[in-house]
Structure formats: structure tokens, C-alpha cells
Amino acid sequence: MSEHFLQVPEWSWNHPVEDEPAYVHHWVKPLHEMEQPPDLILYGAPISRSSISVSGASLYPSEFRRMWKGFATYNLDEDIDLSTFQVGDAGDVAMHTTDILLSHQRIQKTTAYLATHYPTTRTCMIGGDHSTTACAVRGIKEVFVGEKIGVLQLDTHLDVRDPKELGPANGTPIRQLIDGNIVKGENVINIGLHGYYNAKPLINYANEHSIQMVTLKQARKLGLIETIKGALKQLSEKVDRIYVTVDMDVLDISVAPGVPASTPGGMSAIELFDSLLEIGKHPSVQHIDFVCLDPSRDSAVSETVKIGVYAWLQFITGCINQIRI
């Protein structure tokens, strides 16, 4: 019998690697320890001082990883074991404390670095506020210069406020990309818009640049999955790669206390889960991000972060289904 019963305190990556990892934190591996390019690279962009209103979304990458311990790698609904899929965690982009432009450049450069060294691996960026999306897409464009990039945006807002007025804030990324000739407005589809959350001048900009606005009401009438499928099909016929950006404020306020900008009338968690399953299946979707979730505002049971991890696993489930085809 053992002389003592000491065990190491529980930290994330210290656990012995298991052959058949049953939980997410045993499954995801540090990127630099992997010998082969993984199927998906995860990296964090922990900045939210670029947010128009106060935001702690910079805390999301850490909290996202902390909460994934509560998830098994087995998806019961789809009868799929995720553990055959390789996920490499590249860590977080180091942010400067007060130089927002410099921090944004680092996100762009780091994204370019990953795209250069892992050109066929899907990337998933965990924000951070929505300003990070513009950086990431520019980083990708830097590497795949000649390619057309399409953006599927799940969002309550258009995020086309004027960077000339605000600088590269979280309300501006889509406009940064369009005005910067990185993405054409006609190759942006926003699904999730609703209610009274986009002022008229922003609608005008969107119309002038042919951004496709699909309200939740329209999507629900047609069927949300059908709408997602249609959007991906349309984009994939026009562009070379699709970047999906999930602004977590697309969720209804009743399920997303951790997203200060969430509103009544938004997506249910299940609608988000179904959407991401579908998105993961499409082979043109090479990049995805999840932004604007502020864990410091989440409920006591971390409801929103749990939805965030679940949504990400749905995307991976979709990826696996696609790979099987």
C-alpha cells in the first residue's frame, strides 16, 4: 500500500498524454510538440481594448481553454469520436499593453506565419473583440495573395462603422476589409441580423457595397441550415477560401450573459450549434474565429463560455464529417 496519497494539482497540460483521450484537455496538444501538421490549429488573440464599449473579451482564450475540461471528446448526437482529429494549440498572440496598432499587426503577422507554415491546415482564432477579424483576414490574404476570400459572418451587427472615425475598433472589421480591398462586399454574407441594432447609415453602406444581409427572420423562414448551406454554396462558387467569423453577440441575450452586446431576438444555442456543424462540413471553410465573448460578464455557471466551447466542437464534428466524405 502506498505510503502517501499526494497528487499534483490539476493544471491543463501537465497530464500524461493518453492514448484514447476521453476529454478535450487530454486531446488538444501544444502545436510545437506535434510532428505532423494537425487538422486544426487553435490560437488566441487576447485583445479587447480596441472595443468601443468596455470589454473583457481579451480573457476569452484563457477561459475557453479552462472550461474545455468539462467536455468529452465523444459527440453523442452524431456518434463521432473527435479524438482521431488532431488539434494543435499554438498559444496566444502576445499583445502590447497600450499600442493597439502594434497588437493588431502582431495578430496579422502571426496569422500569416501560421498560414505560411501550415498552408493546408484549418485555423481557428479565439478572440478578443471583433477588430481581430480584420487582422486575421489580412494575414491570410498576405499569404494567399492571388486568392479571393469570402466571409460568412454570424452577427447581430454589420460591423461596418467607419475606421476613419473610430480607428480599427471592434465595430469596423468588415469595412476595414472592404475599404482595404481585402474582401469584396459582395463576398460577405451576414446571417443573424435582426431588430433595431444597425443604424440606417450602416445599412446604406452595406447596400452600396452589396453585402448580403440575411435577417434571422428570413433565415428561420427558409430554414437556418438551408440558409447556411446556400450561403456557403454561393460563396464557394465565387471565392477560393471562406473565412467564417462568429461574433458571439449573434446569440440571444437570454443565453449569452457573457456577451455584453447580445440582444433579444438573437440565435438560440441550438441554432448556433446546428449552424456550426453545417459550416464545419464545407471544404471551402479554411478559417474560423469566435469573438466578443467576455468571460468576466458571464453567469456564475459560465453558461456562455460553455456554449462557446460546444459551438467550437460542433465545428470540429462538421470537419470530421467532411473529411470522411
**Binding residue positions for Mn(2+):** 130, 155, 157, 159, 247, 249
Helices 269-281, 224-238: crossing angle, 10 deg rounding: 30
Of 313, 315, 318, 320, which lies in the binding site for its own copies, with binding defined by CB under 8 A?
313
Of 34, 69, 81, 85, which lies in the binding site for its own copies, with binding defined by CB under 8 A?
81
Q: Are 207 and 193 in contact (CB under 8 A)?
A: no
Burial grade of 162 (CB within 10 A; 0-12, 13-18, 19 or more): middle
| Beta strand spans in 194-264 (E) | 212-215, 241-247
Which CB atom, from 150 or from 260, has the smaller least distance to its own copies? 260
Paired with 215 in beta bridges are 193
Among 146-154, 177-185, 190-198, 226-234, the segment contacting its own copies (CB under 8 A) = 190-198
**Residues in the annotated binding site:** 130, 155, 157, 159, 247, 249
The DSSP H or E segment spanning 107 is: helix 100-117
Which CB atom, from 30 or from 283, has the smaller least distance to its own copies? 30
Of 10, 19, 35, 237, which lies in the binding site for its own copies, with binding defined by CB under 8 A?
10
Of 75, 86, 212, 284, which lies in the binding site for its own copies, with binding defined by CB under 8 A?
75
Q: Compute the distance between CA of residue 35 and CA of residue 86 in angstroms, rounded to an integer.
A: 11
Where in 270-299 is the site for its own copies (CB under 8 A)?
270, 273, 296-297, 299
Where in 83-142 is the site for its own copies (CB under 8 A)?
83, 89-94, 96-100, 106, 109-110, 113-114, 131
Longest CA pairwise span in the chain (Å): 76
C-alpha cell at 13: 497540460
What track of x and - describes contact with its own copies for positions 149 through 178 (by CB under 8 A)? ----------------xxxxx---------
Indicate whether 196 belongs to the interface with its own copies (CB under 8 A). Answer: yes
Which of left, alpha, beta for 292 (phi over 0: left; psi -120 to 50: alpha)?
A: left
Indicate whether 77 belongs to the interface with its own copies (CB under 8 A). Answer: yes
Where in 211-240 is the site for its own copies (CB under 8 A)?
213, 215-217
Whose CA is closest to 138, among 185, 104, 167? Answer: 104
Which CB atom, from 28 or from 239, has the smaller least distance to its own copies? 28
Where in 38-67 is the site for its own copies (CB under 8 A)?
43-44, 48-52, 54-56, 58-59, 61-62, 65
Strand 80-81 with 74-75, pairing: antiparallel
Which CB atom, from 185 or from 260, has the smaller least distance to its own copies? 260
Q: Compute the distance between CA of residue 150 and CA of residue 189 in angstroms, rounded to an integer.
A: 8
C-alpha cell at 209: 457595397
